[in-house]
Structure 1
């Protein structure tokens, strides 16, 4: 079973970071850059995916930190 992703998104005038499945954001920020950094650190700690959304809610970027079923060629050593 896949681990819950970490989401970075905009809501109510703030950028937020939340682990998928939780009802509330774990942290809030004034800038997207601050929220992305915190989201990336949380995703790395949980070894899961980080989903970054634009202000309009569309997915802008996804990054996987240790939970990728198909890593790029050459990454297995």
Structure 2
């Protein structure tokens, strides 16, 4: 009985081996895609931050310009 189980276990492991190798390969591909996604996500977050800061600077400069203009007009009147 144990010998038969031993014989049955060996083909089962050899049948599972290609599947395990395939899963390992899929895991590597998934981890590579995940790394690329994380890098792209960081770049996007950086780009959003840069865009927001540039827009913020432009808007603040624009608001400051308007404020100064109104201030000058008020002072003149």
- TM-score, normalised by the number of residues in structure 2: 0.22
Of structures 1 and 2, the one scoring higher in RCO (CA 8 A, sep 6+) is 1
Normalized per residue, the structure richer in helix is: 2
Q: TM-score, normalization: structure 1?
A: 0.22
